[in-house]
Amino acid sequence: MYGCSASFDRIALRQDEQAKEKVLSLISKANESYIIHESEVQSLTNELNAYKAYESGGSKNDETIKMWGKMISPTNNLYEGFIKRWKERDSLNVTFIAEFKPIISDAFDNIIALENARR
């Protein structure tokens, strides 16, 4: 699917998989008040930023870094965009959450596929 000449990074792959699990779990809670989960959101946001920084330290990771940038940019409709909306509205409709989960899941699958393509 993705061609790249960077070497496979088992740590990056595990981080990507864990991030996907954690984000999907957190998004499932968005029908509750944002305030209840604010510290969890901040902690996960810090983790995602650390994952992007880790990827930035590797070589030939431009596409992965770009995808992580989209994931955590507040102007995109991925993780940070979702969090921004949740914070603004305090809670989100379960239908909206259900429709959003496949979008974020696909975005993480693309990041994971990039890493797997390096094997």
Residue 1 predicted with pLDDT over 90: no
The three-state (H, E, C) secondary structure of the chain, written as one string: CCCCCCCCCHHHHHHHHHHHHHHHHHHCCCCCCHHHHHHHHHHHHHHHHHHHHHHHCCCCCHHHHHHHHHHHCCCCCCHHHHHHHHHHHCCCCHHHHHHHHHHHHHHHHHHHHHHHCCC
Task: pLDDT band for 54, please (50, 70, 90 cuts).
Answer: confident
Task: pLDDT band for 6, please (50, 70, 90 cuts).
Answer: low
| pTM for this entry | 0.89
List pLDDT tens digits, range 9-30: 788 899 999 999 999 999 999 9
List pLDDT tens digits, range 55-104: 887 767 788 889 999 999 988 889 999 999 999 999 999 999 999 999 99
Residue 119 predicted with pLDDT over 80: no
